[in-house]
Amino acid sequence: MREQKIFIVGDVHGCLDMLQKLMNKIDWKPERDRLIFLGDYVDRGEDSCGVIDFVLDISSRSPMVECLLGNHEHILLDFLSGRDPATFFLNGGTATLNSYRFGQERFGDLRIPAEHIEFMKSLQTWIELDDYYIVHAGFRPGVELEKQNLEDLLWIRDNFIFSDFHFGKRVIFGHTPFSQPLIMANKIGLDTGAVYGNKLTCLELPSFKFHFVEA
């Protein structure tokens, strides 16, 4: 029997077709391999609703699927609670509304299924593996993991990316798009701008193999 594999998928942002192609490409065995999503399932792309449906479907068929909270899910939950609509629309929220079949002409006619909202509320903030930490955006250097601020976990960029601080384990993250995966001694960035016409990336562990699907 082969060893357990771990597959970590970068930011999807409503790109359902790319996610489906990626899942068909990797050798994920749902009964034994871990599959981890870095967050940002929604916004900017054409089918946020379809992406969450897809993730919910595979999650219902495998206990090995783990999903992180991204800043865009947090923004959407705030918007649905009546908080900060400006940030939601400035970050691609209109595409999400359109994917749920309502737009500005039917503003307020919210048709987001309850299970989608519960999914977003249930998302984890970070995951610990034997040799890695996994988080959406990153960690604040010099701050213990248990004391990290949620805003940093979901939004931090330069203070984390340009730091050589080592958290004890290498950090795998998304959030900040790169043309290729960012590979540094203390961190690995997997957001490769799928929604911007680049590619969707998955890192396979322990082989440290990258899988890509082009836009």
Domains of the chain listed by start with CATH number: 6-214 (3.60.21.10)
Helix, strand or coil for residue 128?
strand
**DSSP for 179-213, written as a single string:** SS-EE-SSEEE----GGGTSEEEEEEETTTEEEEE
Residue with tokens 């988080």: 135
Q: Work out whether strand 199-205 and strand 170-173 pair parallel, antiparallel, or are unpaired.
A: unpaired
Sheet holding 132-135, edge to edge: 126-128, 132-135, 170-173, 187-189, 182-183
**Grouped pLDDT means (10 residues each) for the chain, 215 residues:** 91 98 97 98 96 98 97 96 94 92 51 92 98 98 97 98 97 98 98 98 98 96
pLDDT at 118: 97
pLDDT at 103: 43
95: Cβ contacts below 8 Å, ≥ 6 apart:
14, 43, 44, 45, 46, 48
Separation CA 62–CA 58 (nearest Å) = 6
pLDDT at 102: 53
